[in-house]
Amino acid sequence: MAGAGAAAALPSPSQSGGPAARGPVKPARLKEGDTVGLVMPSFAQWDPVPLDILLDTLTVLGLKARVGKHVFDRRGYFAGRDEDRAADLNAMFADPEVKAVHCVRGGWGAARLLPLVDWNTIARNPKILVGYSDITALLLSFYARTGLVTFHGPVGASTWNAFNLDWMKRVLWNGEAATFANVKEASDTLVPVKNRTRTITPGKARGRLLGGNLTVFTTIIGSGYLPDMFTQLKLAGILGQAKGVVWGTCDKCSPGEGFGSLTIPDVLDDHVQSLGVPAFSGAMIGHVDRQFTLPIGVQVEIDAVAGTITMLESAVFVP
């Protein structure tokens, strides 16, 4: 799936008095010895090796794993029936021994589970929920319906490199109010070439962090499963409510031969620069091997010139 990792610093998302309007619900931090529930809300995983690697990784980290009953189910390209994938998700949140829920992979299909989620169980048992890409549907809906802070970060089948692991530990284990900044890599070039950010509109902005995969946004607009202000796109004034915008990466988004369509810079000029709010592009978010673990629903400050996102509070509860 081609898509963009995007995060927007927005005003408080609810005017209706729903859970998110009363303030975010922070899950308990992850610690050694905890059990992590593994679920497959979207595409099927035909190859067992990535799960083997994930299980070994969790063991090395001192964590226990609880594999969902239907993780290796398959119905078409989905990881089993909608009802069964949702049952795994509900079961992990209901299980008192499970302290975090990690989605093994994305793809497509998480949005189909939303009418089947047991929202009362989720609200009564706030836990860490991690994933990206198609998991955006769960991250935003869990926050919208229950106020639960969720985490846009690597899925279980992602590469567990030092960069990804460091950010997960800082945010989920240590409860750090971190500043996310692209890594500056040494090379034999005169100036940095990789992981560059680009200022679209200079300035700083503060607000609650909301975002994810833009392709998935379009599938659940108007469904009641997005934070209240995410009910329409720009024509209905959604982007006009943003205090700031961060654009991540976009996979397979070239304009094609002969520049036959608008480029990503064209799109950002048309729809982001015109907002007149602080904005930058190139953050390490999206379908990349190294990516941040960003908390959905907490207060942050973005600096469009420095290309940073700074958490103004911890995203997890540290007893």
Quote the CA–CA distance of 284 and 275 in Å, as a whole number: 23
Q: What's the burial of 139, exposed, middle or buried (CB within 10 Å: 0-12/13-18/19+)?
A: buried
Look at residue 292 in the predicted model and tell me its pLDDT.
95
Report the amino acid identity of residue 270: D
CB 251 within 8 A of CB 3: yes
Quote the CA–CA distance of 264 and 288 in Å, as a whole number: 17
Comma-separated ranges of CATH 3.40.50.10740 domains in the chain: 19-173
Architecture of domain 19-173: 3-Layer(aba) Sandwich (3.40)
Report the amino acid identity of residue 137: A
Comma-separated ranges of CATH 3.50.30.60 domains in the chain: 4-14+177-311
Spell out the per-residue pLDDT of the chain, length 319, in tens.
344 445 556 554 443 344 554 679 999 999 999 999 999 999 998 889 999 999 999 999 999 999 999 999 999 999 999 999 999 999 999 999 999 999 999 999 999 999 999 999 999 999 999 999 999 999 999 999 999 999 999 999 999 999 999 999 999 999 999 999 999 877 788 888 888 999 999 999 999 998 888 778 777 777 778 765 534 455 546 667 788 999 998 877 777 665 567 788 888 888 788 889 999 999 999 888 899 999 999 999 999 999 999 999 999 998 7
Look at residue 231 in the predicted model and tell me its pLDDT.
40
Q: Which fold has domain 4-14+177-311?
A: Glucose Oxidase; domain 1 (3.50.30)
Quote the CA–CA distance of 49 and 73 in Å, as a whole number: 15
Q: Is the full-model pTM beyond 0.85?
A: yes
Q: What's the burial of 15, exposed, middle or buried (CB within 10 Å: 0-12/13-18/19+)?
A: exposed
The 10s digit of each residue's pLDDT in 112-153 is 999 999 999 999 999 999 999 999 999 999 999 999 999 999
